[in-house]
Amino acid sequence: MLYSLARPFLFGMDPETAHELALASLKLIERTGMASMLAHTGPAHGVKLMGLEFPNALGLAAGLDKNGEYIDALAAMGFGFVEVGTVTPRPQPGNPKPRMFRLPEAGALINRLGFNNQGVEQLIANLARTRYRGILGSNIGKNFDTPIARAADDYEFCLAKVYAHASYVALNVSSPNTRDLRQLQGADELGALAGKLKTEQLRLADAYGRYVPLVLKIAPDLDDAALAAIAKCLLKHRLDGVIATNTTVSRSGVSGLRHAGEGGGLSGAPLCELSTGVIRKLAQLLEGRIPIIGVGGIMSAADARAKLDAGASLVQIYTGFIYRGPQLIGEILRALSAPGP
């Protein structure tokens, strides 16, 4: 209710400004003890996955809270897990503004943010101040000026830094907004990256006495051969999960709309079927051996259910949360908690 009143005001602003204002307001509400006015408090079914106990199957996708500044406020909304980032070894400003665009007729966003973040050291400092003790994912990437041939060094650096603070670590190799990043989804490149990071994960697990799952976030714009190669790599290197999917470079469903020609990744409703199709194919390839976290275009409880039915074990939202606010969280959790037919 509150968000439906605030949305016209927020949508009258530049999207990135509105994003920052909404998060700051949410943080204020949480600090004043009023978060219960927005939070979902109904029943929920827990999910055990990757050795972790998720209180419910709905998470917040990476990108909304890049630096881990709003975890307590976001977690109070009822999410079963929160993923922060993408974070890089060094701070970087991202791409020039404007770099985020709404396509409200399609329930969509285009962004070309470019991993704007304050760096992994600042993320760790922010995590040390949070009161949240639930499941926290840390999404990591490479700096824009790190050559692709040295990308694995950036991921290894970030993995070592966030390991002690994360419930799981997500490897973002699929953003369309960092030059050449998606090359890391190629069979040879991904194999080298996964092998190096698996070795580092096992070293860190021994050092900390705690195993932190490693998951891969992939693009929706992959053909069947590329998906098969990724599935093979996931199994070979024993990664713990896969997030499907990131934003798309396709403009199917938005052509002719204002801002449709902007560069960047498209998210929201037009992505939903494409992402769900990737999940379905991955589920067939992986045969239940590695869990899938489904994300991409979830704007309703039916969208979330479709991803679970396609083979995902958990789901995440981002653009749907921007368009519909906390109401979407409650709608999804009520639907997932309802008894089956």
Residues designated catalytic:
175
Q: Tell me the torsion sign for CA atoms 238, 243, 248, 252.
A: positive
* Nearest alpha-carbon partner for 109 in 94, 99, 123: 99
Amino acid 339 reads P
Cis peptide before 178 (omega within 30 of 0): no
Q: Give me the torsion for CA of 306, 332, 114, 16, rounded to 10°.
A: 140
> Cβ–Cβ contacts within 10 Å for residue 75, how many?
23
Q: What is d(CA 140, CA 115) in angstroms, rounded to the nearest whole number? A: 9
Amino acid 136 reads L
278 sits in which H/E element = helix 272-286
What's the Cα-to-Cα distance from 241 to each of 77, 109, 215, 292, 297, rounded to whole Å?
25, 26, 4, 6, 20
Helical packing angle, 301-310 and 326-337, nearest 10°: 50
End-to-end CA, the chain:
30
